[in-house]
Amino acid sequence: MRTFWTTCLLALKAASIAQASPGLFSLESELSDISDSTSNTENNVSSSRLSELETIRGVNIGGVFLIEPFIKPSLFDQFNTSTTQELPVDEWSFSAALGKNETRRQLEEHWDTFVTKDHLELLASYGINWIRIPIGYWAFNITDDEPFVDGQVPYIERLLGWAREVGLKAELDLHGAPGSQNGYDNSGHRVTPEWLYSRANVDRTLDALKKMTEIAVKWDDVVYGIQILNEPSRWKWPVSDILGFYNEAYDIIRGMTKDVYVMIHDTFLGPKEWHTLVNSNWTNTLMDTHIYQMFDNYLITINETAHIDMVADMTKDVVQFDKTNIGVVVGEFSAATHDCTKYINGFGTGNRWEGTLSYVDHPLCPFSHCTCTGDYSSDYRQFSNHYKHFLRRYIEAQLLVFDKKLAGWFYWNFKTESAPEWDYMLGVEQGWIPKFPRTAIPRNNEDDNLEVSAVDLVSKATAHTSILIPFFISAISFFVV
């Protein structure tokens, strides 16, 4: 989940960020120099099925088919931290520690319960119309020397069935590749990346994509997007090598379906360099970028006003790319501006906020006393009204760009066990994430949903500009409460 944005911060530090909070109206004014546009998916869309899509308003169904410690800490808390034995830090070492049989037992229970149809229905009622489903390659192929277990596909297809019933569109996201494409736990294996060093790894990745595309073809009324690979690291391999892989992957997908979005990740490059990742012959393609303001020492040090102001600084070039090249979707973002969240930097690691991370020698929070309690705890019931108000303003600042000026967005994540700023459903329930009109319409029951369909028509008619209306209405209710 680390992004390019941390590499441009030295330039941003020189800017004045101590001014008063701009609020919604002045933030919109600040962004007025960026040409207003509706969703730019028409830039390279040839399919009428795709060109009719409304703005993508989505959530990630993360931590289900590729587990991550911070999303469900209880899976990792079972291991005895008092021993000197090497502790599991990702799905690879989790599986190795438990063995195949126990891993399968625990993960099948997890796959069966962590996301339900009720969750999808609730998300649709909040205005969500897409889900992004991260999947590890081992759902499709495993070698004898790998500790992973398979069996995810029936649960993935059950999830797609629920999405069909609820009216959600889906993106299948290959989130982990053999050898690890970035070395992070979100690839399934926190290790020195070896992915592109082996042709066998590339072939297995392409095989996983082919099998994932077979699911997309089977569920073509639900699956509207395929992500070639999540966050391949351009620090490890030349961009030209990653583009070469993208071309191979694109050809495989297009050989099976012409009618689905192909998502490519920006590899942590800056927007002005994204054109080096795009083949002009591609069609129905979107750039996926992930925007966070907390995976960096400097970002931890800035105050609330600066975080809101920085949204505009970080997205101007993104909007320009969306306008002039292929469309852009923000595939991951959240409300978090601190790294106090348990295991957010990896299982068994500390945080920058309190200065407990191994390569940080002092607390970096913007206060004289740095502690992961109160507003920065894992218990949202400790949040002050001031902090909730900040979360609301920060989310709105992001959505003013992501929803109004880009192809759309996916929040990370749909839910968590104990990470409030990363939990979309909790954020809506508690008021720091706004609701949108429902646009997810069940395919098989449209005649019984006339009231919802009317809302859908109004939403489509107003397109991107409708974002301010629910913001202002919900903001009024937020302050009244």
pLDDT at 446: 42
Q: What was the pLDDT predicted at 54? A: 83
Q: Which amino acid is at 130?
A: W
The model's confidence at residue 442, banded by pLDDT at 50, 70 and 90, is confident
**Residue 282 DSSP one-character state:** -
Full DSSP string of 81-107: TTSSSPPP-SHHHHHHHH-HHHHHHHH
Q: Confidence band (pLDDT; 50, 70, 90) for 361?
A: confident
pLDDT, residue 43, reads 52
Mean pLDDT for the stretch of residues 359-372? 92
Q: What gap in Å lies between CA 388 and CA 39, rounded to an integer?
A: 30
The burial of 124, by beta-carbon neighbours within 10 Å (0-12 exposed, 13-18 middle, 19 or more buried), is given as buried
Q: What is the pLDDT of residues 388-419, one digit of tens each?
A: 999 999 999 999 999 999 999 999 999 999 99
What pLDDT band is residue 52 in, cutting at 50, 70 and 90?
A: low
What's the CA gap between 306 and 290, in Å, rounded?
19
Taking residues 162-189, report their average pLDDT.
97
Work out the average pLDDT over 229-258.
97
What does each C-alpha distance from 438 to 160, 345, 370, 456, 457 come to in angstroms? 19, 35, 41, 6, 10
CB–CB of 353/300 below 8 Å? yes
Candidates 68, 231, 396, 421; catalytic one = 231
Instruction: Using the predicted structure, report yes or no on whether residue 243 has a pLDDT greater than 60.
Output: yes
**Interval 143-150 mean pLDDT:** 97
Give percent of the chain with pLDDT exceeding 70: 80
Which tens digit of pLDDT belongs to each residue from 9-24?
434 443 333 333 333 4
Burial 245-268 (b: 16+ CB within 10 A, else e): bbebbbeebbeebeebbbbbbbbb
pLDDT at 47 over 50: no
Cα distances from 28 to residues 5, 23, 250, 391, 399, in angstroms, run: 21, 9, 37, 18, 11
**In angstroms, what CA-CA distances link 403 with 22, 191, 433?**
19, 35, 13
231 catalytically annotated: yes
- Active-site choice (68, 91, 332, 421): 332
Per residue, the 3-state secondary structure of 205-265, as one string, reads HHHHHHHHHHHHHHCCCCEEEEECCCCCCCCCCCHHHHHHHHHHHHHHHHCCCCCCEEEEE
> Is residue 340 over pLDDT 80?
yes
How would residue 81 be classed by pLDDT, with cut points 50, 70 and 90?
Answer: low
pLDDT at 472: 41
Average pLDDT over residues 335-339: 96
CA angle 171-176-181, nearest 5°?
120
- Asked if residue 60 has pLDDT above 90, the reply is yes
What pLDDT was estimated at residue 347? 87
Q: Render pLDDT for 248-280 as a digit per residue (tens, 0 to 9).
A: 999 999 999 998 999 999 999 999 999 999 999
Active site residue 52: no
Please compute Rg for the chain using Cα positions: 21
Please give the Cα distance from 440 to 436 (Å, whole number).
11
pLDDT of 429 higher than 70? yes
Q: Can you point out the beta strands (E) in 304-417?
A: 327-332, 408-411
pLDDT of residue 36 exceeding 70: no
Q: Which residue has tokens 């859908």? A: 456
Each residue of 277-308: b (16+ CB within 10 Å) or e?
A: bbeeebbbbbbbbbbbbbbbeebbbbbbbbbb
Query: Could you give the angle at the alpha carbon of 267 between the alpha carbons of 58 and 237, nearest 5°?
Result: 150
Measured CA to CA, the distance from residue 226 to residue 38 in angstroms comes to 22
Given a cut of 50, is residue 375 above it in pLDDT?
A: yes
Rounded to an integer, the average pLDDT of 433-443 is: 91
pLDDT at 444 (0 to 100): 60
Per-residue pLDDT tens for 266-324? 999 999 999 999 999 999 999 999 999 998 998 999 999 999 999 999 999 999 999 99
CB atoms within 10 A of CB 417: 16
The pTM assigned to this predicted structure is: 0.85
Mean pLDDT over residues 43-72, rounded? 79
Query: Cα angle at 345 between 343 and 346, to 5 degrees?
Result: 60
Q: Which helix (H) or strand (E) holds 313?
A: helix 304-324
Planar angle of CA 345, 351, 356, nearest 5 degrees: 130
Torsion of CA 378, 307, 426, 131, to 10 degrees: -120
228: confidence class by pLDDT, cuts 50, 70, 90: very high
Mean pLDDT, all residues of the chain: 85
Between 185 and 481, residue with greater pLDDT: 185
According to the model, what pLDDT value does residue 182 have?
97
464 has pLDDT over 60: no
